[in-house]
């Protein structure tokens, strides 16, 4: 079974592939791709948690007018991400019907998976990068000349080692753990992933009981990476991926923390529960063969008071 360019191995364990195109866009241009306003187009699916990170960071840093945005249909076909939300089913800037066209413009013989987020060079139509682990960090560190006045420092230089240490187990056990549970084809691999997911959530519940955000009083890259999985948890991962020990709404600290972020400008307005649910429940036909998309859960709770302000020093 394949999820974009990711697969399940012979043991029944989900394996997430490394990004094939890992170029960087840098302030000094030494990478061959210089920071240049208006040159690049960010392609996302609002359903994808990895792409969602880019939406949040782009918004928080005020880069909306610097890096343009294309949004793919949440429902993929056999050619993967498509631009059927746009007039004529064509991206209005790149003039392509499928994101895969930009991949092949970069590497004509490429026959691997097509993933989001992706950054495309508008003049050439070539894919620059689909390295979801690096892309948000580069928005924070390489595009500083174009950050809005008062933009947050999401990856402070003096805290990067500590942030990386917090991010690593969150990625392995939670961000990717829910996929390892959902796509496992053996009971053993599913249960191992299930234990990882809830072991990490329990540790985060404890950590966040005494601090407003993961690193203290300020939002950082670590919070963004955690949020995009939390916001999908009850809608998708709890049922669809069988991560059902409890819901996010049943973990008091994490639920309040997630609402705090959701109500912060740059977060809630980038969440699209319709796209999220339609993608997972329709595209993953081996998990949900009927293709029925759940009506719930009720999203109104995301706007209720969170009471986390008292944790700020």
Please indicate, yes or no, whether residues 170 and 253 belong to a single structural domain of this protein. yes
Please indicate, yes or no, whether residues 80 and 163 belong to a single structural domain of this protein. no
Nearest to 75 by CA among 299, 285, 290: 285
Over the stretch 6-35, which tens digit does the pLDDT of each residue have? 576 666 676 766 778 999 999 999 999 999
Please report, for the domain that includes residue 140, its CATH number.
3.40.30.10
The answer to whether position 92 is within a domain reads yes
Active-site position among 40, 48, 155, 243: 48
The answer to whether position 258 is within a domain reads yes
Please indicate, yes or no, whether residues 10 and 141 belong to a single structural domain of this protein. yes
Please indicate, yes or no, whether residues 103 and 216 belong to a single structural domain of this protein. no
Q: Give the domain extent around 92.
A: 2-146
> In the predicted model, what is the mean pLDDT of the chain?
95
Please indicate, yes or no, whether residues 121 and 172 belong to a single structural domain of this protein. no
Tell me if 81 is assigned to a ligand binding site: yes
- Number of domains comprising the chain: 2
Active site residue 243: no
The answer to whether position 191 is within a domain reads yes
Please indicate, yes or no, whether residues 65 and 126 belong to a single structural domain of this protein. yes
Active site residue 281: no
Which pLDDT value is given to residue 71? Answer: 98
Which pLDDT value is given to residue 312? Answer: 75
Active-site position among 179, 190, 194, 280: 179
Which pLDDT value is given to residue 1? Answer: 29
Over the stretch 250-297, which tens digit does the pLDDT of each residue have? 999 999 999 999 999 999 999 999 999 999 999 999 999 999 999 999
Which pLDDT value is given to residue 19? Answer: 75
Which pLDDT value is given to residue 5? Answer: 45
pLDDT over 90 percentage in the chain? 92
């Amino acid at each position: 079974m394949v999820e974009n360019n990711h697969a399940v191995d012979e043991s029944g364990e989900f394996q997430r592939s490394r990004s094939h195109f890992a170029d960087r866009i840098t302030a000094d241009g030494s990478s061959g791709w210089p920071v240049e306003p208006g040159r690049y187009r960010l392609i996302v699916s609002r359903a994808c948690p990895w792409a969602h990170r880019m939406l949040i960071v782009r918004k928080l840093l005020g880069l909306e007018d610097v890096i343009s945005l294309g949004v793919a249909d949440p429902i993929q076909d056999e050619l993967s991400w498509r631009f059927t939300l746009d007039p004529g089913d064509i991206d209005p800037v790149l003039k392509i019907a499928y994101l895969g066209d930009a991949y092949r413009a970069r590497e004509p013989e490429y026959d691997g998976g097509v993933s989001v987020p992706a950054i495309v060079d508008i003049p050439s139509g070539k894919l620059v990068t689909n390295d979801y682990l690096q892309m948000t960090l580069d928005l924070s560190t390489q595009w500083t000349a174009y950050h809005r006045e008062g933009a947050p420092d999401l990856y402070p230089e003096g805290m990067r080692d500590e942030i990386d240490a917090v991010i690593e187990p969150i990625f392995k056990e939670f961000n990717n753990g829910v996929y390892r549970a959902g796509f496992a084809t053996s009971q053993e691999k599913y249960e191992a992933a299930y234990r990882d997911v809830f072991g990490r959530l329990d540790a985060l519940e404890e950590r966040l009981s005494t601090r407003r955000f993961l690193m203290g009083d300020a939002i950082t890259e670590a919070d963004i990476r955690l949020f995009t999985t939390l916001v999908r948890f009850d809608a998708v991962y709890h049922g669809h991926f069988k991560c059902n020990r409890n819901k996010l709404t049943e973990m008091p600290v994490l639920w309040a923390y997630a609402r705090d972020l959701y109500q912060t400008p740059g977060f809630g307005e980038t969440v699209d529960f319709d796209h999220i649910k339609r993608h997972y429940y329709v595209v993953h036909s081996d998990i949900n063969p009927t293709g029925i998309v759940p009506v719930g859960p009720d999203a109104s709770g995301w706007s209720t008071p969170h009471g986390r302000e008292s944790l700020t020093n």
